[in-house]
A and B are shown apart, each in its own frame.
Chain A
Amino acid sequence: MLKGGYWGKILWVDLSSKKISEATFDEAFARKYLGGVGLATRIVSEHVTRNTNPLGPGNVLVFATGPYQAANIASAGRCSCAARAPLSGYWGEANAGGHIGPELKRAGFDAVVITGRAANPVYLWINDGKAEIRDASSLWGLDAVETTAALKESVDAKAAVSCIGPGGENLVRFACIANDNHGYFGRGGMGAVMGSKNLKALVIRGTLKPPIADEGKLREVYKDVLSRAKDAPFTKDNAEHGQASAVVPREENGLLPMKNFTMDNWTEGAAKIGAPHFTEELQIKRWPCPSCIMGCHRRITNPKYFPADTGGPEFETLGMIGSNLLIDDLGAIVRANEMANRYTIDTIDLGGVLGWAFECYEHGLITKEDTDGIALEWGSGDALVKMTEKIARREGIGNLLAEGLRACVEHIPGTQLYAQESLGQTVGAHDPRAFWGQTITTIASTRGGCHLHGFAEAFDLGALLPEIGITEGTDRFDVAKKGYAGAIYQDIQQFWNSLTWCFFYFFSGVTLADQVNMLNAITGWDVTPAEAQKMGERIVCMQQVFNLNMGMVPEKENVMQERFTKPHKEGGAAGKVPPWQAILQEYWETKDWTKGVPSKAKLAELGLDKLEAKKALSDAVARDYKKD
């Protein structure tokens, strides 16, 4: 019996038949898959086959909360979203802040699963145990800010609104989903999945009180956790400057992408786009997720930069559409960020495809004839803004870029060097040459290129997990234990994304033991840190099996991008290249995977006996869904 943290209810919406139903689950199911991305992995794995077109009605789009959304605690303003990714054809997942998670839980559901395709644009209204499919024809074509405003006005001013703009409608393969204008399900193209289903928005309002197993114990544990987190230096720095505080230091230590990861210093540029200039010039205010004490999302208040109705640029955005393109014009970055947020396209992949395009332009492989006269020159804020519009609208060359990096390289063969991707998804603004702990998430993330699918950079930086035996990190340029850390931090990150929890609190001193203690108070369980890691390991393993069944060949895909195999000559990572083969081998051994394929013994240990890892027999990759 579920004592707390869950309703045990999943809302199931088939947009083709307009049928709305509920599925239920019990405590054993909850303790196995936890919630959030774990629950979503279970559902997507069951319902998606290799023949499922990611942009077809057969794909399932899951929005899932975890047990933390039942509690009104800082860090719990999160939600997971998953589907087969249209960008890669493989596992697709995003985790975001905003009101959707807590609101969905208060509305009486742990998750909502959307299948099929509506005949006309619709939105889904979820309110206190009920759901309704409503017409959204008048909203189609509006951007995310306009859509959110219209729905709050016509439905419920206090509702959480998660929606897509033209990027999602136009099926840009890296379209995101906007949560209340400042949280974004950014990666993998979840917004395109929504668009393919003619689903403009989810509007959610809940006033129910989710069950908590031991409210007194939760308050006792949380009081201690909160007092430590409040005083942590990271909390204060994140509140004041947000993620922009990392730009200047990371230019110095070599992590920041510069000129599509080819340059090793850009000191003056970094100072123009990073904190403290960023904070002062934009007159930044905090924009917190529900209950958050940090408020790392940024609200721009300097009228000079209006319209600025969405979350201001964060580190990944400043890196990928700023330094990565050598653009030091903060106004252009703010403008492009605002457009991307309104149109709902992911700023990391936006920076990735533009990095490829700018480099092609430099080498004469793309000319003004291809771009309708736009000069894709490094440092051009004008090109950034114009190309953002073209991609969202799929106009001209924007139609190619909207297909993602692999399609770009197919279009201009021989340009793989310019495409910093894994499984077709752009890597984040974290050069793995500067922190070798980032190797695994760069080359072997189940969702493709990513900086957060196991943020083992934390291992290099001494943010450790003593509860499960990680009591010491290794130097950022020391290969020792980098594969091991890549595996364990990946497990823990998926545990976090299943709680679901904001991992920034880990850097404010909230330990794995704290997280488990809160989980147990909410659910009435007796989970240990070791079990928490095992939960995460199970989720990652399921995603790997999903990818194998979609046709992934790990030996072919889990390869370091060529650019990262050559060292910088100068800068904070000069002369350094991670020995990625050794790190990958240690990662696979830690996972008990043979060349990326989980062993039968491992599947049995994780309670996944019924899953079968079908290693692809040919070089066919998952993008063959196009032939369906």
Chain B
Amino acid sequence: MKVKVKFFASLTEVFGDREREVELGEGARIKDLLDALCDSSRCRQNVFDDSGKIKMRIQIMKNRMPIQSFDGISTRLEEGDVISIIPPMFAG
């Protein structure tokens, strides 16, 4: 299946894209998507902490809804889903 990923702010530079289509196996979850996306150490450093957990400060939305409303990083993905990944923004 294919899902669309939207990157925001500094992550557009980190991942080299504003949007990207990603091919995943059936039954894939958010954490599988992130693993597939992070194909370089720089990308991994921006998404995962030293212990391999997804950084809390990264905000992830599935179809504009926070993944906390589903199963967090275990949220299942479906064909055509749009996933947004936002780095911490500190403007005030």
Contact = CB atoms under 8 A, between A and B. Distances in A.
B59 A315 contact: no
Nearest to A507: B90
Contact of A246 (B55, B61, B64, B91): B91
Interface in A457-480: 457-458, 460-463, 473-477
Contacts of B69: 574-576
A455 interface: yes
Interface in A224-244: 233-234, 237, 243
B66 A252 contact: no
A461 B8 CA distance: 15
Interface stretch (A56-64, A206-214, A565-573): A565-573
Interface string A300-336: 0000000000000011100000000000000000000
A475 B56 contact: yes
B9 interface: yes
B52 interface: no
B64 A475 contact: no
Given A237-B9, A252-B84, A462-B55, A475 B90 contact: no
Number of chain A interface residues as a range: 35 or more
A315 B92 contact: yes
A265 B92 contact: no
Interface in B45-68: 55-57, 59, 61, 64-66, 68
A448 interface: no
A572 B92 contact: no
Interface of B is mostly: loop
A574 B66 contact: yes
Interface string B10-24: 100000000000000
Nearest to A319: B91
Contacts of A576: 66, 68-69
A458 B91 CA distance: 10
A504 B61 contact: no
A572 B9 contact: no
Contacts of A455: 92
B25 interface: no
Nearest to B55: A462
Contact of B92 (A254, A430, A473): A430
A252 B64 contact: yes
Contacts of B92: 243, 315-316, 428, 430, 451-452, 455, 457
B27 interface: no
Going nearest first, the 9 A-B pairs with the smallest beta carbon separation are A246-B91, A462-B57, A461-B88, A243-B91, A315-B91, A507-B90, A249-B8, A246-B89, A461-B57
Interface of B: 6, 8-10, 55-57, 59, 61, 64-66, 68-69, 84, 86-92
Interface of A: 233-234, 237, 243, 245-246, 248-250, 252-254, 265, 314-316, 428, 430, 451-452, 455, 457-458, 460-463, 473-477, 504, 507, 570-576
Given A430-B92, A572-B61, A576-B66, 10 more contacts: A245-B91, A246-B91, A249-B8, A249-B86, A252-B64, A252-B86, A462-B57, A463-B57, A574-B65, A574-B66
24 contacts: A243-B91, A249-B86, A250-B89, A252-B8, A252-B61, A254-B66, A315-B92, A452-B92, A457-B92, A460-B56, A460-B57, A461-B56, A462-B56, A462-B57, A473-B57, A476-B59, A476-B68, A570-B65, A571-B64, A572-B59, A572-B65, A572-B66, A573-B66, A575-B65
